[in-house]
């Protein structure tokens, strides 16, 4: 694996490559250099910070769960079946990946908001979604679902159907095949997709502030808290930012771990 071998990469390529790496790492280092280490712990454990952190973790976990419940069936349908308009459907499903999150937030507002498409129906049922914690979870799920679908669809395609066909000729019904063969075989890909979705949900800002607002303890997640603190208390903003960087680094480590253990 690590045996040195001829790379074929022209030497000059290293210069822009190094510049790119610096471009990514330098801002993080600059931010870390501004952290007030003396007050770091008290800054990230202040009441509003704790509220924001707990809310973020809670809503991101819920959003990830929703992504798995909705995304696994979507990936299966996209990877294993073929029907008219499938290509178009795939493009539409991936739209939240490229859509500005604030646009997503407005779209959600006109769907689930008071005056939205489903808003009146929900009003009758006594459900008020906009500007609630539920809205945060919906916004996060909306933006992170494509990550899980794309990642899992790729894994399913790579894994192929050969084992599933064998299982069905052994008399296993489709649900049994899914539970005992397909899902165990794509578990590393599913885990990687779930971790990516969690990370995307944790960083969600635009759709959340548009659709859910910024109420402390209810809808003010960590990114929103950082944005607010930036004006009044830059030290706290930097400290909380570092917390998110650490979480992001852990996430990358987790994804790499699951990818490398995959067959």
Residue 231 burial (C-beta neighbours within 10 Å; 0-12, 13-18, 19+)? exposed
224: three-class secondary structure by DSSP: helix
Least CB distance from residue 173 to other proteins, whole Å? 5
Residue 257 burial (C-beta neighbours within 10 Å; 0-12, 13-18, 19+)? middle
Burial 62-94 (b: 16+ CB within 10 A, else e): bbbebbbeebbebbbbbbeeeeeeeeeebeebb
Select 169 or 232, whichever has its Cβ closest to other proteins: 169
Query: 148 is written with which tokens?
Result: 């899980």
Residue 111 burial (C-beta neighbours within 10 Å; 0-12, 13-18, 19+)? middle
Residues that bind other proteins (CB under 8 A): 162-163, 165-174, 176-177, 180-181, 184-185, 263
Least CB distance from residue 177 to other proteins, whole Å? 8
Select 107 or 177, whichever has its Cβ closest to other proteins: 177
Least CB distance from residue 88 to other proteins, whole Å? 25
Task: Output the CA torsion 167→170→174→179 (10° steps).
Answer: -50
Select 5 or 84, whichever has its Cβ closest to other proteins: 84
Least CB distance from residue 188 to other proteins, whole Å? 11
Select 87 or 174, whichever has its Cβ closest to other proteins: 174
Least CB distance from residue 17 to other proteins, whole Å? 37
Select 66 or 181, whichever has its Cβ closest to other proteins: 181
């Amino acid at each position: 694996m690590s045996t040195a071998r001829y790379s074929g990469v022209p030497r000059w390529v290293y210069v822009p490559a190094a510049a790119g790496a610096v471009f990514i790492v330098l801002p993080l280092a600059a931010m870390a250099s501004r952290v007030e280490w003396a007050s770091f712990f008290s800054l990230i454990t202040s009441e509003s910070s704790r509220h924001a952190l707990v809310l973020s973790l809670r809503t991101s976990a819920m959003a990830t769960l929703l992504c798995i419940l909705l995304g696994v069936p979507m990936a299966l349908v996209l990877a294993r079946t073929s029907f008219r308009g499938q290509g178009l459907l795939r493009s539409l499903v991936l739209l939240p990946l490229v859509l500005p999150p604030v646009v997503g937030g407005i779209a959600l507002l006109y769907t689930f908001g008071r005056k939205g498409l489903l808003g009146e129906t929900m009003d009758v049922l006594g459900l008020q979604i906009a500007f609630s914690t539920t809205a945060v979870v919906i916004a996060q799920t909306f933006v992170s679902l494509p990550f899980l679908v794309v990642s899992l669809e790729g894994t399913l395609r790579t894994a192929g159907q050969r084992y599933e066909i064998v299982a069905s000729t052994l008399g296993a019904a489709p649900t049994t095949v899914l539970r005992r063969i397909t899902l165990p075989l794509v578990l590393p890909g599913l885990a990687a997709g779930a971790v990516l979705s969690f990370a995307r949900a944790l960083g969600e800002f635009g759709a959340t502030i548009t659709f859910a607002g910024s109420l402390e303890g209810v809808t003010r997640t960590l990114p929103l808290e950082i944005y607010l603190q930036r004006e009044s208390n830059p030290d706290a903003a930097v400290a909380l930012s570092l917390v998110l960087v650490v979480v992001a680094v852990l996430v990358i480590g987790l994804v790499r771990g699951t990818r490398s253990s995959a067959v």
